[in-house]
Structure 1
Amino acid sequence: MKNVVQTKNGTTPRRKIYAVDLFCGAGGLTHGLLKAGVDVRLGVDIDPACEYPYIANNNAKFLLKSVEELDVSELECHYRKNGIKLLAGCAPCQTFSTYNQKATESDKRWWLLLQFSRLVDKLLPELVTMENVPRLIEQNVFDEFVANLESKGYSVAYQVVNCAEYGIPQQRKRLVLLASKLGEISLLTPQEFGNGTRTVKEAIGDLPPLEAGTSHPNDPLHQCSALSEINMRRIKASRPGGTWRDWPRELVTNCHKKLSGKTYPSVYGRMTWEDPAPTMTTQFFGFGNGRFGHPEQNRAISLREGAILQSFPADYEFTRPGEQVCQKSIGRLIGNAVPVTLGEVIGTSLLSHVSKMTREAYRLKK
């Protein structure tokens, strides 16, 4: 019973959680929150490519607008009276990513977290959640974000989690923050959430085979990049879990022959069936961009396979029917997304928290 809380003497109504998702992207966090039972009313993003997948797959509205230009009134109207307000979001994380070696505080995206904080101050929702890359925890802007929440009376909890431990078929470490005005809060542990580890084979092993540079007629998203002649030779010389060091000397790239190149052994690598995938980046569809080679087939993984490894449902729509698929655009949406299952973990944690706080409030009244 999702709208009541069981107590010793019967049931009490549970206030529903209504959410707005800032920096919503293609809807990974929203979709996970919805699966958990959170009513997401609105997604906000500045990227027009997000609008179709967000609306097509989620029972929510979409606002194409920069968070910097948002007025709190544009959010308030989407919440419901007597409900619990949740403000959620993942400010663009490339600024803090380990893949970005040139980020400085002059990068505009550095301060988008403070725009999130500004909206929290104006809206004062009962619940807040934020997901981002682990390196954000080392930055002053994150300390400022947390301190501001605490000054407004929020209980704040944050930690770095490995998505693979929650049943996401991918080794992806993320920083997850939860904040509540209702009382102390925490993220469910992997054991409490209850999903076991999932491997690449379990996730994508039953998808139809593809040749490099082709797509499946029944699913335009199940398409993969073409390979040059030399890259076809390279992938044929690659073994699952191996590196370019397994290749004959004539196939090794010039950059790998340099001392600096030897620190990137996973580039041009194949995944293994028996393990979770590596972190999906925005370039996962390219064989030369990481360990994104298919474990068996001589190709990089497809867009659909990347989406499934991000725990999107196998039928999640990213393009309108009949619309040409742009690999770069869709790959960016998929790679930047919050894994759907991580969104579900967050949503389930919030619902569990609200139930607990409701029971405690009921007990105190008695």
Structure 2
Amino acid sequence: MNRRTAVELFAGPGGMALGLHAVDIRSTGIEWDANAVATRRAAGLPTIHADVRAHGPADFPNATVLAGGPPCQTFTVAGNGTGRDELDRVIDAVKRMGDRQAIDPRDFADERTALVLEPLRWALEDFEHSYNTIILEQVPQALPVWDAYAEVLREEGYSVATGILAAEQYGVPQTRRRAVLIAQLVGEAALPAPTHRPYRKGIPQHEGDPRLLPWVSMGDALDRPQPFTVVSNYGTGGDPKNRGRRTSTEPAFTVTGKISRNRIVDAHGNELPRFTAAEAGVLQGFPADWPWSGNDLAQQVGNACPAPLAAALAHATRHPLRAAA
């Protein structure tokens, strides 16, 4: 059996790469952000510092896996929302790409919206072979785009599975929902089965389906000497009355580039040190000693694909392979 190799689009600081490595897929990442590139290179990950639009499949003739998570700024609730507003146009663009029609990024209010179409360009570009496997992830609001991808890819001979996965059900010590797509040329595509129980407020960690592992709490994951409570501004609109609270016996809130704004207090309400970049990385499933480098560390961590979720997606693609070109 041939060893699989991957090209990662929008590769970020290494979360997807760690997941691919878990099933012995070696990858080269394309990443335009200099800070994420610095982190990847410090971690020894093969990296091309470039815009994915400047490359194509012909530059990676031995890659049998295409993976990536396009930027989500225009789709996420925390972003400007232009991608959500233009969702019908994005889906129409996917269909036109399936008919091999050219798409102009300037047709969208924010050119970043068109980046969600890049993996499809790579999958459809006229080249001497197709990818055996495609693994994509994005914010939940992008699921209709992946569903449109699925229709096009099925016409190309792929089996495709799409859906929304909860990160804590794959061992990530945070609640984070992601829209995912898995496409396979060989075998039947399927989303990974959960390995951990879903988090439910007020339900103890040890309760739930005995066939699944308990979800992982912040206290389980982090090396902090005392119990703590995280006071989050995420999704509050700045209203102090809406601030969420989770204790160290629960998973973290979704890790974003604003995680350093979250207050951390002890049982008496005394302020504790806020999460470091390394701790935020652990909450995304990175090793505690991951060599975060460059600037904007919190943003790098927040933009990363959680490594255990990436590993679950990669594990779900273990099927017979064709020979690499």
Normalising by the residue count of structure 1, what TM-score does the alignment of the two structures yield?
0.68
- Deviation (angstroms), 1:36: 2.5
Measured in 2, the distance between the counterparts of 1:46 and 1:33 equals 20
- 2:69 is the counterpart of 1:90: yes
Letter in structure 1 aligned against 2:229: P
Aligned residues of 2:278 and 2:292 also touching (Cα < 8 A):
no
- Deviation (angstroms), 1:178: 0.3
Letter in structure 2 aligned against 1:49: N
Give the one of 302, 315, 321 matched to 2:289: 315
Give the one of 126, 131, 135 matched to 1:129: 135
- Deviation (angstroms), 1:208: 6.8
3-state SS of 1:350 partner = coil
Q: Flag the 1:199–1:70 CA change in 2: closer, same or farther, 3 A.
A: same
Q: Flag the 1:243–1:293 CA change in 2: closer, same or farther, 3 A.
A: same
Aligned residues of 1:272 and 1:295 also touching (Cα < 8 A):
no
Give the one of 276, 281, 285 matched to 2:256: 281
Q: Flag the 1:15–1:303 CA change in 2: closer, same or farther, 3 A.
A: same
Letter in structure 1 aligned against 2:132: E
Letter in structure 1 aligned against 2:218: V
Q: What is residue 55 of structure 1 aligned with on the other side?
A: 41
* Pairwise CA RMSD: 2.8
Aligned residues of 2:75 and 2:81 also touching (Cα < 8 A):
no
Q: Flag the 1:49–1:125 CA change in 2: closer, same or farther, 3 A.
A: same
Aligned residues of 2:143 and 2:162 also touching (Cα < 8 A):
no
Q: What is residue 229 of structure 2 aligned with on the other side?
A: 240
Measured in 1, the distance between the counterparts of 2:112 and 2:173 equals 29
Q: Flag the 1:337–1:294 CA change in 2: closer, same or farther, 3 A.
A: farther
Measured in 1, the distance between the counterparts of 2:274 and 2:65 equals 38
Q: What is residue 7 of structure 2 aligned with on the other side?
A: 20
Normalising by the residue count of structure 2, what TM-score does the alignment of the two structures yield?
0.76
- 2:306 is the counterpart of 1:302: no
- Deviation (angstroms), 1:190: 1.4
Percent sequence identity over aligned pairs: 27
Q: What is residue 212 of structure 1 aligned with on the other side?
A: none
3-state SS of 2:187 partner = coil
Measured in 2, the distance between the counterparts of 1:280 and 1:295 equals 20
- 2:172 is the counterpart of 1:185: no
Measured in 1, the distance between the counterparts of 2:213 and 2:306 equals 14
Aligned residues of 2:146 and 2:180 also touching (Cα < 8 A):
no
Equivalence map 1:220-299=2 (5 Å): 240=229, 262=239, 265-266=242-243, 270-287=245-262, 292-293=263-264, 297-299=271-273
Measured in 1, the distance between the counterparts of 2:156 and 2:292 equals 38
- Deviation (angstroms), 1:22: 0.7
Equivalence map 1:62-73=2 (5 Å): 62-73=47-58
Q: What is residue 178 of structure 2 aligned with on the other side?
A: 174
3-state SS of 2:59 partner = helix
Q: Which is helix-richer, 1 or 2?
A: 1
Measured in 2, the distance between the counterparts of 1:242 and 1:103 equals 29
Deviations 1:238-290 (A, max 9, x none): x836789xxxxxxxxxxx9xxx7559712xx5541111000000111123xxx
Which structure has the larger Rg? Answer: 1
Count of aligned residue pairs for this structure pair = 275
Q: Flag the 1:115–1:121 CA change in 2: closer, same or farther, 3 A.
A: same
- Deviation (angstroms), 1:132: 0.6
Q: What is residue 206 of structure 2 aligned with on the other side?
A: none
Q: Which runs of 5+ in 1 are unaligned?
A: 1-13, 80-84, 210-238, 245-255, 320-324, 362-366
Q: What is residue 216 of structure 2 aligned with on the other side?
A: 198
Deviation >6 Å, runs of 4+: 241-244
Q: Flag the 1:310–1:98 CA change in 2: closer, same or farther, 3 A.
A: same
Letter in structure 2 aligned against 1:181: L
Aligned residues of 1:18 and 1:86 also touching (Cα < 8 A):
yes
Aligned residues of 2:218 and 2:250 also touching (Cα < 8 A):
yes
- Deviation (angstroms), 1:294: 5.2
Q: Flag the 1:241–1:336 CA change in 2: closer, same or farther, 3 A.
A: closer
Letter in structure 2 aligned against 1:93: C
